């Protein structure tokens, strides 16, 4: 999924008014997610994304692997995005949902016959 398409999905699904708002929601969510991931997981995830999204997964602070409850995650996204908690929760869920859907497309096989044959 290309960057513009990703942001368009975020904007549409969350009801945001502009691509700039969608980008702010995306960056707040992915930046906070990057701080939460450990062991190179953020780097591995970033490697699968367009560069414009991948750079959001470069943590700003050296707190990799920070333990957060889901509520704390949403509160941190709210602060970073500059919106109230309810909005930030919706936006973060949409961002993660679109990210999940993008990765699901990589592995989608409509028919078992579409799978490559593995020779042993």
Q: Tell me what the mean pLDDT of segment 59-66 comes to.
A: 60
120: in domain: no
- Whether residue 11 lies inside any domain: the answer is yes
Contacts 24+ apart (CB under 8 A), 83-91: 83/25, 88/25, 88/28, 90/14, 91/10, 91/14, 91/16, 91/25, 91/28, 91/29
Cα–Cα distance, 58 to 56 (Å, whole number): 5
How do residues 80-108 score in pLDDT, each as one tens digit?
Answer: 999 999 999 999 999 999 999 888 776 66
Q: Is residue 119 part of a domain?
A: no
Asked, for residue 34, whether it belongs to a domain, the answer is yes
- Is the pLDDT assigned to residue 74 strictly greater than 60? yes
Segment among 30-34, 39-43, 92-96 with least mean pLDDT = 39-43
What pLDDT score does 104 carry?
79
pTM comes to 0.82
Question: Domain range for residue 9?
Answer: 3-114
Q: How many CB atoms lie within 10 A of CB 118?
A: 5
Give the count of domains, the chain: 1
Find the length of the chain. 120
Q: Is residue 68 part of a domain?
A: yes
In a domain, 8, yes or no: yes
Residue 88: which CATH number? 1.10.490.110
């Amino acid at each position: 999924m290309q960057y513009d398409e990703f942001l368009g999905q975020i904007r549409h699904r969350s009801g945001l008014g502009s691509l700039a708002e969608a980008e702010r929601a995306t960056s707040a969510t992915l930046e906070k997610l990057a701080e939460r991931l450990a062991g190179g997981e953020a780097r591995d995830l970033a490697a699968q994304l367009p560069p414009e999204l991948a750079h959001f997964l470069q943590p700003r602070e050296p707190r990799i692997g920070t333990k957060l409850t889901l509520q704390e995650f949403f509160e941190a996204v709210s602060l970073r995005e500059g919106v109230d908690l309810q909005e930030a929760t919706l936006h973060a869920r949409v961002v993660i949902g679109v990210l999940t859907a993008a990765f699901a497309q990589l592995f989608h096989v409509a028919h078992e016959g579409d799978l490559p044959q593995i020779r042993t």
